[in-house]
Amino acid sequence: APVAVEPPTVQEIRKRGHEGIDANAPPNSLRRDHADLQPSGSSRGGKSLAAMQL
């Protein structure tokens, strides 16, 4: 189940990063920035992020 939620999340981050953030920072840094940029979604994205790191 957690794996199914990974693709959509990655696509969203990639789309946003494609604007220019991705080019500025690597994928690893982007994920960290995303969590810092959205403190409100940190609790919700925290689980997703943990699964991604694993």
Mean pLDDT, the chain, integer:
55
Q: By the 8 A CB rule, do 52 and 10 touch?
A: yes
pLDDT of residue 42: 47
Residue 15, pLDDT above cutoff 50: yes
Residue 6, pLDDT above cutoff 50: yes
Is 17 a domain residue?
Answer: yes
> In angstroms, rounded to a whole number, what is the distance separating the alpha carbons of residues 24 and 26?
7
Give the pLDDT band (50/70/90) at residue 27.
Answer: low
Full domain range(s) for residue 14:
2-35+47-53
- Provide the number of structural domains found in the chain: 1
Task: Give mean pLDDT, residues 31-45.
Answer: 52
Residue 41, pLDDT above cutoff 50: no
> In angstroms, rounded to a whole number, what is the distance separating the alpha carbons of residues 15 and 18?
5
Task: Give mean pLDDT, residues 10-18.
Answer: 56
Is 42 a domain residue?
Answer: no
